[in-house]
Every structure is written in C-alpha cells, then in structure tokens.
Structure 1
C-alpha cells in the first residue's frame, strides 16, 4: 500500500501516527507530495478526485481517502483496537471534534495564503478561530477523562489538531484557559509516534 501524504497536513499526520502506534510504518510506503488548494498535485488528483490528502492507494482495491475512512480501514486491517466498541461514539465524536479544529485552522491558513492581502476577510478568519476556541473549551471542560484513558483514535486526532495549531497558528495561543488540555498535550506530544511525524 502507498499513502499519498503531505508533511504539514494534520489529516495525513493522523494516519502516519496510527501506523507508528500500531507498528505498521514499514507496511505502507509514504509518498510525500507538495499540493495546495489552488494547485492540486496530479498524483493527489489521481488518487482522490477531491484533490485532498491523505489517500491510501491499495493494490487489491480502490483507493481509500478521507483520514477518518483510512484510519478506520487500517484499524480494522491490523486489529489495532483504536476504535473500541465499548466507547465507540465517544471516540468518534472526539475525533470529529479534532477534525473540525483542523478544518477551521486550515481555512484560516488558506485565507492568508491563497487570497491577495486586500481580499483577506478578517471576519471569516475570526469566525474560524471561534470554532477552534469553542472546541478547545469543550474538550478541556468535558473530555479530559476520555483523553486520560486508554489510547484510541480520538487521542491521535486531538494530538494532531493541537500540533497543527502550534505549527501554523502559534500566535493564537489555544492554551489560554485550557490548562488541563495543555498538560495532556505536553505528555502526548512527546510520544515517539508524534515526534517521528512532526510537520516540517
């Protein structure tokens, strides 16, 4: 199998962290590409018609894309147990929360990277940050018992989301008022799977 990836992408990082955590990094070839929302890499477009990474190219079936679909596929393939049935909806909801944070942060980055400076809509940027801030507040207030429990896919997704905020939006300071989440991330981000997949 071949993973079409981009080092800065938090969605692609989710998959790479899963592979590290399950000891399957050598089972999937990671192909790092350069692609943007306005200039899609042809290899990415061929793998995923939406032109997004990650995409998992299989030899025995159609390409699998969308990070949540890929993660479910690999979790099932390797019997990793990262989507535990006993708390499946908590895991899926927290993973969705992390993905929403990544989506909003990515839109903030694109607003400045793709638009000419005179066309940047600050109100749009602030609205996206509002989504991130509400998610951080909710996780810090309601989800810490889950994050402090056994590892599942929601931990990986949240770690990648917070890592992306630090990587692309360090001046926004998501940590303010989120001490419990900050403490959790300090420990989680030191995992070998996280340091090995840090964006560059």
Structure 2
C-alpha cells in the first residue's frame, strides 16, 4: 500500500513463509514478510524499514515533515506494527501446534495486548481529513489482516475504529484493494 500511495511501481509476490522459499530467505535470512527488493536488488525488510525507505525514495510522500505530525504518524505505525506482531504470535500458536499443545494462557495474553491496542486506536484513530501518511497505511493494513484472521472479533465494542476502516476504504479504494484477503 505504501508503494502504491507514494507512486512507486512495485510487483507483489505472494509466498508461504513456512515453506521457506528461496526467493524469500535469500533476500531476508529471517524468512519474514514483508521483504522488499530495491531496483538494484538490495533487500529491505521489516515494515517500518520498508516504509522509511519508500518515504526517502518518494521525496517524503509517506510521512509529514513537521516533527510533531511525523511523531503522531510514527506512533500510529508503531501501534499497528506491534498489534500485527501479537496477532501473528496468536495465529502461529494455533497453526504450528497440535490442538492439545496449544498454550491457552499465551493466546489470552496476546489477545489482551491486541485488545488494548485496538481500544487505543478506537479512542483516537488517525484522522482521515488531510494528507494520508504511513500511520494511516499501517493501521489500515493491520485492520485488513484482522478482518482476514479475526473477522467479527475485533470490531465488537469499537464502533469508531470500525467506521474509520469503512471510511478509509471509501476514500482510498485504490489502496483498499491491496488489503489482505483470503
């Protein structure tokens, strides 16, 4: 989404991380997504590092130049990325273990972290009036992932955040089509 918003051409390649495909692990020894290959073949990995790289090459199209506004955008990016981390921990606990070995206290802990982050975003989601920034994109991408893996669970009790996502999709259909889907 960030590359599309910044007007940077890109090719998206879908991989199954658990299969450790050569094209992924040769670029990122951690075997994690997202991983970006620059035009000269250099890898950039981790969402925040990729976002900063795209911001630099786009001439600051992803983050405000004003220090206070940039800090706000980075704060939204950080809470969205942290939320994605705890959601992945939750998903992998179920996906990688036999049912009888799933550690429910771990799942409960991760979900409590997710709920706190979602509640914070519900209280004060990033404003959609004005220029779109990396914080908006990170929040939208994470909510898109939540819709894919936890549909119907994250929205309860969070009407502002649910409306925010609907409004983001209405205002930015070209970006919304890049959100995760089955």
Structure 1 length as normaliser, TM-score?
0.81
Determine the structure 1 residue equivalent to 2:174.
192
Q: Does 1:177 align with 2:157?
A: yes
Structure 1 CA distance, aligned partners of 2:156 and 2:39? 46
Q: CA RMSD in A?
A: 1.7
Match of 2:5 in 1: 21
Matched residue, 1:14:
none
Give the Cα separation in 2 of the matches to 1:137 and 1:196: 25
User: 1:60, CA displacement in angstroms?
Assistant: 3.1
- The C-alpha deviation readout for 1:100-153, integer Å capped at 9, x for no partner, is 111111111111110111100111111111111001111122x33x33343111
After TM superposition, the structure 1 = structure 2 runs for residues 45-194 of structure 1, keeping only pairs within 5 Å, are 45-60=25-40, 62-86=42-66, 87-141=69-123, 143-144=124-125, 146-150=126-130, 151-171=132-152, 173-190=153-170, 191-194=173-176
Relative to structure 1, the CA distance from residue 50 to residue 196 in structure 2 (aligned partners, 3 Å threshold; closer, same or farther) is closer
Question: Mind listing any 5+ residue stretches in structure 2 that lack a counterpart?
Answer: none
Unaligned runs of 5+ in 1: 1-16
Q: State how many pairs are aligned.
A: 177
Determine the C-alpha separation between the residues in 1 that align with 2:47 and 2:121. Answer: 21
Displacement of 1:61 after TM fit?
Answer: 6.1
Corresponding residue of 1:6: none
**In structure 1, C-alpha distance between the alignment counterparts of 2:113 and 2:154, rounded to whole Å:** 12
CA distance in 1: counterparts of 2:178 and 2:23, whole angstroms = 24
Instruction: Report the TM-score, using the length of structure 2 for normalisation.
Output: 0.89
Tell me the secondary structure at the aligned position of residue 29 of structure 1. coil
Give the secondary structure class of the aligned counterpart of 1:92.
helix
Deviation at 1:89, TM superposition (A): 1.1
